[in-house]
Amino acid sequence: MRITYLGHSAFYLESEGEKILIDPFLRGNEMATKTPDDFEELTKILVTHGHGDHIGDTVELAEKTGATVFCNHEIAHYLAAKGVEAIHAMHIGGRYDNIKMTVAVHGSGIEEDGKMICGGNPGGFIVETGGYRVYHAGDTGLTMDMKLLEEEGIDVALLPIGGNFTMDLRDAARAVRFIRPRYVIPMHYDTFDLIKADPHQLDVPADVVRVVLKPGETMQLNKKG
Ligand code: NI
Ligand code: MN
């Protein structure tokens, strides 16, 4: 299983038979090293909430690859109106196939032409692929709900650290202690001035490995068992 960081909160998960993109904000991100042109084949696109830095290039990528977009009901409605055909709507606490939607404490409005369209509740995802469980927190503040994730057996947690709009380094460190993953990869930092943070400063317990990836870098996990 391979996890590639694409900058901001965008990740590419690749395992046998699966090519999953999460929050594909690429064209609008100056720090991203990949564009939608780099992805020809995808099985799923996961969108945590309606903000532009997360929906990103979803419409273009869904149309091009035919991947199924997993998102909440309200974003599903918005994407369907944009012409996206393969959409799987779900909501917080729901599980479908190898995807579970989790709680995030944040907003989810979709900005378009100076108007705000309802994007439902924000969320995160637990993805089971290649024998691993990956938790993408989406944009969120620290919440006690993360304590429930300890029992989910999370292998890799992708957590925002940039502050202002989400958890900062201090609260992300508390989140790690709630979730108890094997690995944690920081995200949602440095893209804008307001969310500057040093990912190497994320404090983790001795049994958790902090993995700092630059945009375009990949973490390889060997087959379990
Ligand atoms: Ni957001
Ligand atoms: Mn964001």
- Domain contains 223: no
Q: How far apart are the CA of 95 and the centre of ligand 1, in A?
A: 22
Q: How far apart are the CA of 83 and the centre of ligand 2, in A?
A: 24
The ligand minimizing its distance to the Cα of 109 is 1
Q: Please, what is the average pLDDT of the chain?
A: 97
pLDDT score at 89: 98
List the domain range (segments joined by +) for residue 78: 2-214
- Domain contains 183: yes
d(CA 133, CA 131): 7
Angle, CA of 48, 180 and 42, to the nearest 5°: 35
Strands (E), 54-121: 68-72, 87-90, 95-96, 99-103, 110-112, 115-117
The ligand minimizing its distance to the Cα of 107 is 1
pLDDT at position 225 over 70: no
d(CA 33, CA 51): 21
The mean pLDDT of 91-97, rounded to a whole number, is 98
The ligand minimizing its distance to the Cα of 53 is 2
CA 126 to chain centroid:
9
* Residues at Cβ < 5 Å from ligand 2 ion: 53, 139
- Domain total in the chain: 1
pLDDT score at 43: 98
Q: How far apart are the CA of 140 and the centre of ligand 2, in A?
A: 9
Q: How far apart are the CA of 185 and the centre of ligand 1, in A?
A: 18
- Domain contains 225: no
Q: What is the pTM of this model?
A: 0.98
pLDDT tens track for 179-214: 999 999 999 999 999 999 999 999 999 999 999 999
The tokens for 210 are 């902090």
Residues 6+ apart with CB under 8 A from 167: 140, 141, 142, 159, 160, 161, 175
- Domain contains 142: yes
CATH number for the domain including 139? 3.60.15.10
pLDDT at position 31 over 90: yes
Q: Where are the alpha helices (H) located in the chain, listed in sequence order?
A: 52-55, 58-65, 73-81, 145-148, 169-179
The mean pLDDT of 26-34, rounded to a whole number, is 97
Q: How far apart are the CA of 57 and the centre of ligand 1, in A?
A: 15
Name the strand (E) or helix (H) holding 127.
strand 123-129
pLDDT score at 223: 75
- Domain contains 219: no
pLDDT tens track for 126-158: 999 999 999 999 999 999 999 999 999 999 999
As a whole-number percent, the residues of the chain with pLDDT over 90 amount to 98
pLDDT tens track for 172-181: 999 999 999 9
